[in-house]
Amino acid sequence: VTVLTTAKVGTGLTAVVPIEGVLVPLAVTGLVLGWRRRRARGALAAAALLFTLVQTVALVAAPARTVVPYIYPGAARGTGGRELSDGQVRAAVAAARRCPPRVPYSGVPFLAFIAHRPVPAGQPDGFLPPHSSSLRAVKAQILADTPRCP
């Protein structure tokens, strides 16, 4: 079950994936309890735990080679790769910093964060407000927050 919590495709939430290693004690507890009840369940739990540990170690040890579901913020959806090289990120951040003071940056929120730029309505999530009926007010605030850069 803990493996399912690490799939955060399409958002920048993948930054919290290494934190989910704290779920390992819970998984170990499930493994021990499962092993006591039925060896087959215990073996399945052990395999799931091992899989989760390997993914967590791989993510922390070699983040430049991570793939779905561990994609970078700003990565093309589902590719697991990066759209921008380190140099391109530095250039994009420099361009964002050239925006007028206090004018929201409407590009990738990751770049706005690095450039210390505000985002429209202070809302870095550009996906949920336009697609959620409960966030209509937030969507209206984002649309009303003009002018923007770029």
pLDDT digits (tens, 9 = 90+) for 101-121: 899 999 999 899 999 999 999
**pLDDT at residue 122, as a whole number:** 92
The token pair at 93 is 């951040």
Q: Which residues contact 11 (CB under 8 A, 6 or more apart)?
A: 125, 127
The token pair at 40 is 């087959």
pLDDT digits (tens, 9 = 90+) for 6-17: 555 555 555 566
**pLDDT at residue 149, as a whole number:** 92
Closest listed residue to residue 98, CA positions, set 49, 142, 150: 150
Q: Which residues contact 98 (CB under 8 A, 6 or more apart)?
A: none
